[in-house]
Amino acid sequence: MPRGPRTRTNLLEATLVVAARDGYARATTRAIAEQAGVSEATIYRHFPDKLALFGSAVMHANAQVDEWFAGLPARAGEASVGDNLRECLHRLAGVKAEAIPLELAMLLDPELARSREEHLVAGADLTGPPAQLEAYLAAERSLGRLRGDVDPRTATLALLATLFTAAIGAGPTVDDCVELLVHGMLPPE
């Protein structure tokens, strides 16, 4: 079976179909392989584990968000930091809403939970939009538009943590969180 981009895309699309039909917690790699018309082993030629497959499928469904974030670091110095971060988090909020079922499945599926733990223990680097957000914050800091002692990674993780709370409807809105966090990161006037 070819390992090209079309096979990978078929796997991602099949994952979305199976997850929509069965839920992430009950979506098996066997069902995904059948939906894609490939062997189950083909999945593991493209993805190291089920968590990577599911995470990639969520991002595949939100490719326009990924494209927008690719240009984010270059936007440093444009508009206000608050406006840029609000735009970031609103774009990510849509992805987060789709990812919540996956996150809940991680609590129920032993394979997903194990894979998640391995990623957390390994201290995996940020990738995709979160990595671009981190690079954007680093660029804003280097321009003096954020305090010099702001750690871009910590700030990124704090901003991303607000999404879960906002996505489940508990607590403050994304805009409220951005306002609070931005005021804490801006240099004194």
The model's pLDDT over 13-30, given as tens digits with 9 standing for 90+, comes to 999 889 888 887 788 999
In terms of domains, do 174 and 87 share one? Answer: yes
Same domain, 80 and 116: yes
Query: Do 97 and 35 belong to one domain?
Result: no
pLDDT reported for residue 74: 96
The predicted structure's pLDDT at residue 61:
79
- What average pLDDT score do residues 34-48 get? 95
Q: Regarding predicted confidence, which is higher, 124 or 181?
A: 181
Whether residue 96 is found in the same domain as residue 169? yes
CA 34 to chain centre: 27
Distance from the Cα of residue 116 to its chain's centroid: 14
State residue 179's pLDDT score: 81
Confidence of residue 1 (pLDDT cuts 50, 70, 90): very low
Residues 45 and 66 in one domain: no
- CB within 8 Å of 19: residues ≥ 6 apart: 27, 54, 57, 101, 102
**2 in the same domain as 82:** no
Q: Is the pLDDT of residue 183 over 50?
A: yes
Please give the pLDDT value at position 100. Answer: 66
Instruction: Tell whether 54 is covered by a domain.
Output: no
- Do residue 164 and residue 120 come from a single domain? yes
Those residues with Cβ within 8 angstroms of residue 166's Cβ, 6 or more apart along the chain or in another chain: 89, 93, 96, 172, 173, 174, 177
Domain membership flag for residue 150: yes
Residue 114 and residue 92 in one domain: yes
Q: Identify whether 57 is part of a domain.
A: no
Residue 25 lies in a domain: yes
In a shared domain, residues 73 and 101: yes
Q: What pLDDT score does 62 carry?
A: 79
pLDDT digits (tens, 9 = 90+) for 48-81: 888 889 888 877 877 888 889 999 999 999 999 9
- Residues 74-124: pLDDT tens digits? 999 999 999 999 898 888 877 766 666 766 666 677 776 676 666 655 556
Domain presence at residue 139 = yes
- Residues 6+ positions from 124 with CB-CB distance below 8 Å: none
Domains in the chain, number: 2
Q: Domain of 146?
A: 62-185
**Closest by CA position to 182, among listed 153, 164, 158:** 158
- pLDDT recorded at residue 92: 83
Measured between alpha carbons, how far is 103 from 59 in angstroms, rounded to an integer?
A: 14
CATH number for position 73: 1.10.357
Residue 22 belongs to domain with CATH number: 1.10.10.60
Q: Is the pTM of this model over 0.95?
A: no
> CA 3 from chain center: how many Å?
24
Domain contains 56: no
Q: Which of 49, 71, 89 is the last residue of a domain?
A: 49
